[in-house]
Structures are given as C-alpha cells and as structure tokens.
Chain A
Amino acid sequence: DIQMTQSPSFLSASVGDRVTINCKPSQNINRYLNWYQQKLGEAPKLLIYNANSLQTGIPSRFSGSGSGTDFTLTISSLQPEDVATYFCLQHNSWPYTFGAGTKLELK
C-alpha cells in the first residue's frame, strides 16, 4: 500500500497568512492526488483534484501543486472559514490511501 506522509499535523496561522500543507507519498503517484477539507462534524469536501485542478465552487485562494512524490496545498490568504482539517488522498493505485490530516487553526 502507498503510505501518505502529511505535514504538518497542526498549523496555527493568522487571517491573511499564506498557508502551505505538504503531502509525500511513499512512491510515485504521478498527479493522482486530491485535497479535502473537513470541518468539525461535517463530511470531507473536495478542494483540489489531480494535483492542481480546482473543484467547482471552491474559492481561488486554494491551489494545489506537485507531482510524483511531493505535493502541496496552498491557501493564499487565510480566511476564518478555512479553519478545518485538511487531508490528502492518493488515487494512483488501490487501495486508495489518505494522509493523516493537518488541523488548521487561527492564531
């Protein structure tokens, strides 16, 4: 199985900050990586698919980059409503596997 190492586990930032979250698969997954946002008590929401494609309806302050074994989710200007836990997912090969999550809070 492909292991997904996500960092950091916790992140504290201020409104307006640029925030980056990283995900490193244990092997090459091409560009088959998605990012999800999960707010407390809710189901995950798809933000970015296939490394850098913005899902419909998601604000443009969210962006994704990377390929192979190194991926990044960037929030260009943090907003209060972005407080959540963020997960990456590889869908290059079965079983699909998730990162452990990054909990983002406001400073």
Chain B
Amino acid sequence: QVTLKESGPGILQPSHTLSLTCSFSGFSLSTYGMGVSWIRQPSGKGLEWLATIWWNGNPYNNTSLKSRLTVSKDTSNNQAFLKVTSVDTADTATYYCVHTEFTIAAPLFAYWGQGTLVTVSS
C-alpha cells in the first residue's frame, strides 16, 4: 500500500527558503522507474506540477519557476525533499507530494499525500 505524507513549516516570511519533506512507504526510490513529484494548489485554484525526482537522482523541474526549485531524495529513509528559494505571497498554496512512475502505461499520479498548507506572510 502506497502512502505519502508531506511536512513543512506552515508559515514563512517572504524572501525565505521553503523546505518540504515527503515521507512515504509502499515503494522505494531506488527502484527503476519510481519517482516522487511535487504539485501545488493555491486555495480555490488549479493544480501546478512543480518538479519530479527520479530513482536515478535526476530531477525534472518546471522551468516556470526558473531556478528556484531543488528536489532531492534520501532513499534509505524513504524521503523526498523540495526547496523553493526566495518565496513570495504567490507561493502560498497547498503542496502535495505524489507517487510517480516513469512507465507511460502506468496510471500517473495515482497516489497523493494529504497536502501541507504553506502560507507566505510577513
């Protein structure tokens, strides 16, 4: 059974760096084809894919956030991480971590964490 859970600061100030952790079970990020993606959703709005970290350590980032994103993983502890630098109020959103498979035939984004609300405010 695949489960994921996000954890983060809840609130942080503009210009600071957001650090989020995804703790998961039911799969391994050392297995070929596995990945963890980060997707965010401002309150009452749509979904935006941010980044994916793959089993081989390669990241895919959404270039709309330029170079503000960093994704990484700790395979031995079944965790993935997202850092967003220089946050502002537009980064206020619920952030989800999502199980991802490289195989195109597999159901994509089938397992989601519960989400963690991040508020950027001074």
- Seen from chain A, the residues whose Cβ lies within 8 Å of a Cβ on chain B are 1, 32, 34, 36, 43-46, 49-50, 53, 55, 87, 89, 91, 94-101
Q: Are B46 and A49 in contact (CB under 8 A)?
A: no
Q: How many pairs of residues, A versus B, come closer than 8 Å at their CB atoms?
A: 51
B11-19, B73-81, B110-118: which lies at the interface: B110-118
Are the CB atoms of A87 and B47 closer together than 8 Å? yes
Q: Is B32 an interface residue (CB 8 A)?
A: no
CB distance from B106 to the nearest CB of A (A): 8
Give Cα distance in the complex from A87 to B96, angstroms.
15
- Which among A50, A95, A98 is the interface contact of B63 at CB below 8 angstroms? A95
Tell me if A49 and B107 are in contact (CB < 8 A): yes
- Closest A residue to B51 by CB, please name it: A95
Bound Cα distance from A32 to B105, whole angstroms: 9
Contacts of A55 in B (CB 8 A): 107, 110
Asked if A43 and B105 make an inter-chain contact with CB atoms under 8 angstroms apart, the answer reads no
Interface size bracket, B side: 20 to 34
CB distance from B14 to the nearest CB of A (A): 25
Q: List 5 A-B contacts (CB under 8 A).
A: A46-B109, A95-B49, A95-B62, A95-B64, A99-B46
Of the candidates B105, B109, B113, B114, the one whose C-beta lies within 8 Å of that of A34 is B109
Question: What is the distance, in angstroms, from A41's C-beta to the closest C-beta of chain B?
Answer: 9
CB < 8 Å: which of B47, B108, B112, B114 contacts A91? B108
